[in-house]
């Protein structure tokens, strides 16, 4: 008897299985060829679209009407920031970004329309020191699109031979009236909204000189989209200022690259902007010039020291001192 019959599989059935197997293999090969062809087609389509985008971008850059010399900045084009006017750059009361400073609104961090209200300040607990209390409130405000500044300290008491204030008044940094628009006043940008929010912090004998606070008022402005919108959140730490000084000594490193390097190597908050590093670099340059004999003689007729940014005053270079920000700390 035939061997195939002995195994229980007639020759006709075996041949049918082999034929079906060949059909499946042919289908697999056909599908693989179609997939390869489709991939090549997709790559060609992507390449064509990329070329069209490049052509449109080139045409847009070349479009410069005679009545409007529009400049299209590239990702590494620092000329888009315009001239480095120290007075304009240093206006610390202007929380606008570099794009906003030059007429280009920044929509990269636009807040959710349904999430623009600043929530109420949480109830107070006991704090061992005013610094602990202030750091908590500032961290909470930073996370909720706001910021606080110290207005005044009072009711000083002596502790361990040192008199310290046992009462502090804190204000929203948007508090205060907008500057007058009358004749003779220089027009400056500001985001003051006369916000009524205030926090009274105090330490009393009844509480064993531990600190508590009471908040009042409701914010009359939306939450900010980023902590960098508040000058007090943009202040550099001691380590960041030291690193900026080291990078400045290396030579003509652009401020944008300095800012990126400082943020990369910073351990703490780094919400400062490129224009803040411009100001720091300008201050370092002035200090270096004043250290030379020629610079010392020229300093007699230069801008007085109180106009420069210092860590004690917390003001940006050449900015007008603000009473409620002069004692604020980041």
**pLDDT tens track for 88-114:** 333 333 333 333 333 333 433 444 444
Total domain count, the chain: 2
pLDDT value at position 234?
75
**Does the residue 22 lie in any domain?**
no
Comparison of pLDDT for 185 and 230, the residue scoring more:
230
**Does the residue 111 lie in any domain?**
no
Domain shared by 163 and 198, yes or no? yes
Identify the burial level of 240 via C-beta atoms within 10 angstroms of its C-beta, where 0-12 means exposed, 13-18 middle and 19 or more buried: buried
CA distance 241 to 248: 10
Q: Are 247 and 261 in contact (CB under 8 A)?
A: yes
Domain shared by 274 and 200, yes or no? no
pLDDT value at position 203?
92
**Tens digit of each residue's pLDDT (9 = 90 or more) over 146-188:** 888 888 888 888 888 888 888 999 888 888 766 555 555 555 5
CA distance 135 to 139: 6
pLDDT more than 70, % of the chain: 59
For the chain, give the longest Cα–Cα distance. 122
**Does the residue 5 lie in any domain?**
no
**Does the residue 247 lie in any domain?**
yes
**Does the residue 209 lie in any domain?**
yes
Domain shared by 206 and 254, yes or no? no
pTM assigned to the model: 0.44
Range(s) of the domain holding residue 152 = 130-177+191-225
pLDDT value at position 306?
40
**Does the residue 149 lie in any domain?**
yes
CA distance 200 to 73: 47
**Does the residue 321 lie in any domain?**
no
Domain shared by 220 and 134, yes or no? yes
pLDDT at 211 over 90: yes
Cβ-Cβ contacts under 8 Å for 93 (sequence gap 6 or more): 188, 189, 190, 191, 192, 231, 319, 320, 322
pLDDT at 218 over 60: yes
Q: Are 87 and 318 in contact (CB under 8 A)?
A: yes
pLDDT value at position 323?
37
CA dihedral 78, 83, 85, 91 (to 10 degrees): -50
pLDDT more than 90, % of the chain: 8
201 pLDDT tier (thresholds 50, 70, 90): very high
pLDDT at 200 over 80: yes
Q: What is the CATH number of the domain that holds 146?
A: 2.20.25
Domain shared by 148 and 221, yes or no? yes
**Does the residue 75 lie in any domain?**
no
Domain shared by 160 and 213, yes or no? yes
pLDDT at 238 over 60: yes
């Amino acid at each position: 008897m035939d061997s195939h019959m002995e195994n229980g599989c007639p020759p006709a059935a075996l041949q049918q299985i082999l034929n079906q197997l060949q059909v499946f293999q042919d289908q697999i090969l056909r599908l693989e060829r179609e997939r390869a062809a489709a991939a090549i087609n997709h790559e060609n389509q992507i390449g064509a679209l990329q070329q069209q985008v490049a052509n449109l971008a080139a045409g847009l850059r070349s479009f410069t009407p005679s009545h409007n010399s529009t400049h299209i900045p590239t990702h590494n084009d620092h000329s888009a920031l315009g001239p480095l006017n120290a007075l304009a750059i240093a206006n610390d009361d202007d929380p606008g970004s570099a794009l906003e400073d030059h007429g280009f609104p920044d929509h990269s961090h636009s807040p959710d329309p349904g999430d623009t209200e600043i929530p109420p300040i949480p109830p107070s607990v006991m704090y061992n020191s005013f610094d602990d209390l202030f750091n908590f409130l500032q961290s909470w405000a930073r996370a909720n699109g706001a910021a606080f500044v110290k207005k005044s300290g009072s009711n000083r008491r002596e502790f361990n031979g040192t008199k310290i204030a046992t009462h502090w008044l804190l204000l929203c940094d948007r508090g205060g009236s907008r500057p007058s628009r009358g004749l003779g006043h220089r027009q400056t940008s500001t985001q003051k909204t006369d916000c009524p929010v205030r926090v009274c912090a105090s330490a009393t004998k009844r509480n064993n000189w531990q600190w508590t606070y009471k908040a009042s008022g409701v914010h009359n402005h939306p939450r900010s989209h980023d902590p960098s919108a508040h000058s007090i959140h943009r202040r550099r730490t001691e380590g960041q200022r030291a690193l900026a000084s080291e990078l400045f000594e290396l030579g003509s490193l652009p401020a944008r690259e300095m800012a990126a390097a400082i943020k990369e190597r910073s351990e703490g908050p780094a919400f400062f902007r490129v224009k803040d590093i411009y100001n720091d670099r300008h201050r370092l340059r002035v200090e270096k010039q004043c250290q030379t004999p020629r610079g010392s003689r020229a300093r007699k007729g230069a801008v007085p020291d109180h106009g420069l940014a210092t860590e004690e005053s917390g003001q940006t270079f050449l900015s007008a001192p603000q009473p409620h920000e002069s004692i604020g700390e980041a």
